[in-house]
Amino acid sequence: MTAIVDLDPAIAETLHAALGADSVVLPSMDALERHLSTQLGEDTVVIGPTVDLRTALDLAIDMRVARPSLGVVLVRRRIDASVLGDALRAGIRDIVAERDLSGVNEAVARSRDIAKALREQVPGVGLHDNERSHGLLVTVFSAKGGCGKTTLSTNLAAALADGGRNNVCLVDLDLAFGDVAIALQLFPTHTIADAIPVAETLDFAALEALLTPHSPGLTTLVAPLEPGAAANIPATLVVRILGLLKEAFDYVIVDTPPAFDDQVLAAFDASDVIALIATLDIPALKNLKLTLETLELLNYPREKAHVVLNRADSKVGLAMGEVEKTLKVPVTQQIPSSRDVPATINRGVPIVLDDPKHPVSLAIKEFATNYVIHASTATETSIPAELRSDRRGLLRRKAKS
């Protein structure tokens, strides 16, 4: 059921008519509070345009802790950049214009799907902290292509597998143009696209059949072979897959496309560590700075994000101090450049396996040890995944305003 709150009875009834019988109108925020105290299965609240914005934002902030599966949909007469920014920071699931009744319906439907996926289907959601799975998830991201995301992802996964001492799954979430299979010279029988027909009932037994082994301790879930399949893989399926993998593996490494799409945001939500990789060139550093600002806007904990500078010893006239001053964050790890890296890629063997004592291998292992293996898996500072699963729409509307 969906709860609707608006101080104008006519507006409330209009929203009620748009959402149908599976919704209830409440005359005030006090009435909503009483409703939520008894209706513990409520998954969505629609706040109408006559409710004070600050009151609506305070509700969303409170629910992030008290009811993380509850989505707040905000209906406003006017949507500007200021409102969008406040909503993003508060954890509002979606914002819709008052006259866009079909948009309200769609927002509520998305909210219900997200709540269902996270409360009923994803392992660990709704459990006490001591019942949660302990797998640690690392997402490797760059908003610019060519920085070495796949190279870092494959080598980080191989380093963490440590010859079979740990169970690691490498997920290629670049659904249109993923290169993990090529970089590791894999010939997969199945890809992530094969999870689409069984999305509603997917369990680990079914997911395990889609994995492709690489080396002792290292298994992969590769991207679709056909780029067009990417459009059929929703963020809710990615959420479910990552939840299942975190339950089954010691480490899950996610390689990503250079874009803030729904699937990448889902990976960020599930991440314990986010490795932001860049190179010593102005476009890459500019995109990295924008990435850091976007993560801050979306309220991702700053301590989860680590800047990794690839080919850091390149002589291009940029000093490390200047880079850190521009980014306003320290560079966590520097990886040197080497012609040996593309040579190992062409052979389909991560350099950490081909030459464990190579300077590049040592740098990646250092990052793995200091910022992944020793990373805290505590979740008390995390913002629940469902609160940001539809942020792409908010970001898109913010760009237009």
Q: What is the CATH number of the domain that holds 170?
A: 3.40.50.300
122 and 186 in a single domain? The answer is: no
Both 112 and 187 in one domain: the answer is: no
Taking phi over 0 as left and psi of -120 to 50 as alpha, with beta for the rest, 91 belongs to left
Per-residue pLDDT tens for 66-89?
Answer: 777 788 999 999 888 888 888 878
Q: Are residues 248 and 224 in the same domain?
A: yes
Is the model's pLDDT at 120 over the cut of 70?
no
Residue 45 and residue 177 in one domain: no
Does 151 fall in a domain?
Answer: yes
Structure tokens at 238: 């990615």
Same domain, 144 and 73: no
Q: How far apart are CA 298 and CA 21, in angstroms?
A: 34
Same domain for 84 and 159, yes or no, is: no
The answer to whether 51 and 31 have CB atoms below 8 angstroms apart is no
Least confident of 115-124, 262-271, 274-283: 115-124
**Which residue range(s) make up the domain with 331?**
133-373
Number of domains in the chain: 2
Say whether both 25 and 70 belong to one domain: yes
Other CB atoms within 10 Å distance of the CB of residue 262? 20
Is 80 exceeded by the pLDDT of residue 11? Answer: yes
Is this model's pTM higher than 0.85 or not? no
**Residue 380 domain-assigned (yes or no):** no
What residues form DSSP beta bridges with 140? 255, 275
379 found inside a domain: no
pLDDT band at 205 (very low <50, low <70, confident <90, very high): confident
Please check whether residues 178 and 297 belong to one and the same domain: yes
Amino acid at the residue 278:
A
Look at the chain and count its residues.
Answer: 401
